[in-house]
Structure 1
Amino acid sequence: MSGEIHVVAIITPASGQEKRVGELLTNLANNVKQNEKDVLKYHLFEQTNGKGTNVFVVEEIYSSQSAYDAHFKTDYFQALGETIRNEGLLGAELDIKTIKPIGGFVSR
């Protein structure tokens, strides 16, 4: 576990763009699952209790720094970024946080 990279990404769609952003992020998650064997976890969530625009949260675990770096270089990730920019889909800047586990548990 020492070489693992844990990440939380928070994606805020522009008002009215939740469905489009959700579709794009779901497609990305499917591509990651199919193509990135060194990604140990890539779990997409949508906030359900927000006032106004809901956000999406992606919980990610990469086996190494090189797996994390490679993720951003994939064709499908690059295409997603271009689509998001071209269509003006975000209401706030993408918020990517590198985190580390310090307590709690994963399952019982």
Structure 2
Amino acid sequence: MALKEPFYIVANLTPVPGKSQEVIAAIQPLTEYVQANEPGCLHYEMFQPAGPDVDAASAPVVFIELWKDMEALEIHRNSEPYKALMVRASTEGLLAAPPDVKVLQPVGGFPLRK
């Protein structure tokens, strides 16, 4: 299937047990940079599972991103803050596994209501 633009990315991050809040704190500078400097990123939001049975200290972190085009995503992946986060996650042992990243495009439903 050919990629239609804009497109979504869903990235699942699995923190080392007990390091979920450290992962969120490490990502925050990147989210601020993206908002201020990457107009090709149309949506960039971080989520965690919720509910009484969720261990917030070890819960996964899920990103839902909307990109104008592949060029915008490449700009993001080549930015210094993104590269710095990848190095930090590796050197500080923040993630239990590599990020699970999926490129998605809508096939039904409707977008966010205004």
- Among candidates 39, 42, 47, match of residue 40 of structure 1: 42
What's the counterpart of residue 98 of structure 2? 93
Q: Give the letter for the 2:96 counterpart.
A: G
Runs of 4+ with deviation above 3 angstroms: 49-52
Aligned 8 A contact 1:42 1:61 in 2: yes
2:61 is the counterpart of 1:60: no
Aligned 8 A contact 1:41 1:62 in 2: yes
The 5 Å alignment of 1:6-21 reads 6-21=8-23
Q: Which runs of 5 or more structure 1 residues have no equivalent in the other structure?
A: none
TM-score by length of 1: 0.90
Q: Give the letter for the 2:70 counterpart.
A: Q
TM-score by length of 2: 0.86
Q: Distance in 2 between matches of 1:62 and 1:107?
A: 16
Cα displacement (A) at 1:83 = 0.4
- Among candidates 26, 29, 33, match of residue 27 of structure 1: 29
Aligned 8 A contact 2:26 2:85 in 1: yes
2:109 is the counterpart of 1:107: no
The percentage of aligned residue pairs carrying the same residue is 29
Aligned residues: 107
Q: Distance in 1 between matches of 2:61 and 2:109?
A: 23
- Among candidates 67, 83, 89, match of residue 88 of structure 2: 83
Q: Distance in 2 between matches of 1:47 and 1:73?
A: 29
Please tell me the root mean square deviation across aligned C-alpha atoms, in Å. 1.5
Aligned 8 A contact 2:42 2:65 in 1: yes
Aligned 8 A contact 1:5 1:68 in 2: no
Q: Which runs of 5 or more structure 2 residues have no equivalent in the other structure?
A: none
